[in-house]
């Protein structure tokens, strides 16, 4: 029976004790040479101080006091000789693991669902006028950097004005002379750019109306501002949660942020498509302009194959086939279709000249 000394937690005067296992496997501490048992404890209720701690004694998880053997070898020999069922010197507690997994899940859910909601709400703090002021200079820089066709820009603006679109303030439409780049985009604040290459491929006024409706949908729903605020919010969220982690986590976080941004952007594209479809319907123009426009984009993207479906999740824009199908469905359901009015037709002809 190894000798040890016991500190009872009320004074630092040691009590000489004997330490032994009883028949049930509990650790017993008795006054030296006496049968007076001071403490009985299961091995699971004993603390050895933590991982890597080199000590010659132990304390208790649920009572005060501390037992010290003569040396750590004595203690190891004592516990190595313990009855089999009592050899369980530490408990693996599930609660911290569950807590951590739950927290990871909560953070993940919050990151992908809560942060966008918070960010979108916070964008409302910036008024449309402030947004316009904020992006006035960047839009002007872009306009200066590219070659703007002022005559065609005037026609494009006339076409835009002829469309009955919800009024949210001044909108500028510019046509950029670029025969190689088939593109159109809208900047936050209400500036739209369309390339001449895009206009060359558009065959009907309905297709142009679909394009302008789509880009105006981005402006109307303030997707640009939300994207910027979203990036800022994601960066902050990652900085908060992952700021202390290693480069591996930072890389993962960066990829996840990129993924989340792309997913967010796909939702915006769908929202802009819906806006375009609605604006075509409101103007009683044929919604077939929408799927026809996407067919043009699909041809330009060089992919006539559905095997791009696998890459769609990693693409900024939703799969074009999905958008064509959505447009066709909406066109089928359209009740009233009329021809574009004279103002639209004239503007379109001038654009195609």
Partner 1 sequence: MNIYRFESVAKGGDWFLVSLKNILLTILTLSLYYPWARVSKLKFFYGNTTLDGSNFEFHGSGAELFKGYIKFLAGYLGLILILVLITLSLATTNPGLMVVVFYLVFYGGLLLFLPFAIYGSYAYRVTRTSWRGIRFQMVRDRSTFIKNCYRDLFLTVITCGVYSPFFLVNMYKHLFGHTSFGNLKVQFKGRGDDLLFLYVKGIFLTIITLGLYMFWYTRDVIRFQINHMVFELDGKTSKAHTDIAAGDIFMISVVLPIITILTLGLAWPWAEVQIWSTMVNNLSIKGDIDISDVIATPDQQAFGSDAAADALDIDLGLV
Geometric angle at alpha carbon 37, from 33 and 39, rounded to 5°: 130
Quick check: 94 binds partner 1 (CB under 8 A)? no
Q: Which is nearer to partner 1, 205 or 253 (CB)?
A: 253
Which residue from 243, 251, 258, 325 is in contact with partner 1, where contact means CB under 8 A?
243
Q: Alpha-carbon Rg of the chain, whole angstroms? A: 36
Which residue from 94, 244, 306, 310 is in contact with partner 1, where contact means CB under 8 A?
244
Supply the DSSP string of 260-294, one letter for each residue. HHHHHHHHHHHHHHHHHHHHHHHTT--TTHHHHHH
In terms of Cα–Cα distance, which of 138, 202, 127, 182 is closest to 302?
182
Quick check: 92 binds partner 1 (CB under 8 A)? no
Which residue from 232, 255, 259, 333 is in contact with partner 1, where contact means CB under 8 A?
232
What is the footprint of partner 1 within residues 24-83 (CB under 8 A)?
47, 49-57, 59, 62-66, 68
In terms of Cα–Cα distance, which of 147, 152, 292 is closest to 209?
292
Q: Is 65 left (phi over 0), alpha (psi -120 to 50) or beta?
A: left
Quick check: 12 binds partner 1 (CB under 8 A)? yes
CB of 64 to partner 1, least distance (A): 5
Which residue from 130, 141, 151, 316 is in contact with partner 1, where contact means CB under 8 A?
130
Residues touching partner 1: how many (CB under 8 A)? 51
Assign 58 to helix, strand or coil: strand
Q: Which is nearer to partner 1, 66 or 204 (CB)?
A: 66
CB of 80 to partner 1, least distance (A): 19
CB of 214 to partner 1, least distance (A): 27
Do 301 and 317 touch, CB atoms closer than 8 A?
no
Q: Which is nearer to partner 1, 75 or 287 (CB)?
A: 75
Which residue from 94, 125, 145, 310 is in contact with partner 1, where contact means CB under 8 A?
125
Quick check: 242 binds partner 1 (CB under 8 A)? yes
Which residue from 39, 82, 126, 337 is in contact with partner 1, where contact means CB under 8 A?
126
Q: Which is nearer to partner 1, 83 or 108 (CB)?
A: 108
Which residues are CB-contacts of 196 (< 8 A; sequence separation ≥ 6)? 149, 152, 175, 176, 177, 178, 179
Residue 243, token pair as written in the block: 């700021």
Q: Which is nearer to partner 1, 166 or 239 (CB)?
A: 239
Q: Using CB under 8 A as the criterion, what x/- string covers residues 212-231 for binding partner 1?
A: --------------------
Quick check: 100 binds partner 1 (CB under 8 A)? yes
Do 57 and 69 touch, CB atoms closer than 8 A?
yes
Burial of 221 (0-12, 13-18, 19+ CB in 10 A): middle
Residue 35, token pair as written in the block: 């049968």
In terms of Cα–Cα distance, which of 142, 173, 146, 144 is closest to 160?
173
CB of 8 to partner 1, least distance (A): 6
Q: Which is nearer to partner 1, 23 or 62 (CB)?
A: 62
Residue recorded with tokens 């979108």: 120
Residue 41, token pair as written in the block: 């404890």
Q: Which is nearer to partner 1, 5 or 157 (CB)?
A: 5
Which residue from 81, 87, 103, 259 is in contact with partner 1, where contact means CB under 8 A?
103
Residue 199, H or E segment: helix 196-201
Quick check: 301 binds partner 1 (CB under 8 A)? no
Assign 66 to helix, strand or coil: strand
Residues in touch with partner 1 (CB under 8 A): 7-14, 47, 49-57, 59, 62-66, 68, 95-96, 99-100, 103-104, 107, 122, 125-126, 130, 133-134, 232, 236, 240-246, 248-249, 252-253
């Amino acid at each position: 029976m190894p000798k040890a000394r016991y500190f009872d937690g009320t004074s630092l005067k040691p009590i000489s004790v004997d330490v032994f296992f009883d028949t049930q496997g509990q650790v017993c501490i008795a006054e030296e040479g006496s049968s007076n048992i001071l403490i009985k404890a299961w091995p699971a209720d004993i603390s050895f101080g933590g991982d890597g701690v080199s000590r010659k004694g132990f304390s208790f998880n649920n009572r005060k006091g501390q037992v010290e053997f003569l040396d750590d070898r004595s203690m190891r020999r004592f516990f190595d000789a313990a009855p089999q069922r009592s050899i369980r010197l530490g408990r693996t507690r599930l609660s911290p693991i569950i807590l951590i997994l739950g927290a990871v899940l909560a953070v993940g859910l919050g990151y992908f669902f809560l942060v966008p909601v918070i960010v979108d709400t916070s964008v409302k703090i910036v008024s449309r006028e402030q947004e316009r002021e904020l992006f006035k200079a960047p839009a002007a820089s872009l306009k200066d950097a590219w070659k703007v066709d002022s005559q065609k820009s005037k026609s494009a603006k006339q076409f835009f004005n002829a469309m009955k679109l919800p009024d949210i303030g001044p909108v500028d439409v510019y046509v950029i002379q670029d025969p190689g780049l088939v593109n159109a985009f809208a900047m936050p604040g209400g500036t739209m750019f369309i390339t001449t290459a895009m206009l060359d491929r558009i065959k009907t006024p309905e297709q142009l109306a679909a394009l302008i409706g789509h880009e105006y949908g981005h402006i109307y729903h303030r997707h640009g501002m939300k994207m910027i605020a979203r990036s800022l919010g994601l960066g902050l969220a990652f900085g908060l949660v992952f700021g202390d982690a290693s480069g591996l986590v930072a890389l993962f976080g960066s990829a996840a942020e990129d993924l989340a941004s792309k997913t967010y952007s796909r939702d915006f594209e769908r929202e802009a498509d819906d806006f375009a479809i609605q604006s075509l319907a409101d103007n009683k123009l044929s919604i077939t302009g929408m799927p026809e426009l996407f067919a043009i984009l699909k041809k330009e993207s060089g992919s006539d194959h559905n095997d791009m479906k696998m890459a769609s999740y990693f693409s900024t824009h939703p799969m074009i086939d999905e958008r064509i199908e959505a447009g066709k469905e909406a066109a089928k359901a359209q009740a009233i279709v009329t021809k574009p009015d004279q103002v639209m037709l004239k503007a379109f002809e001038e654009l195609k000249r």
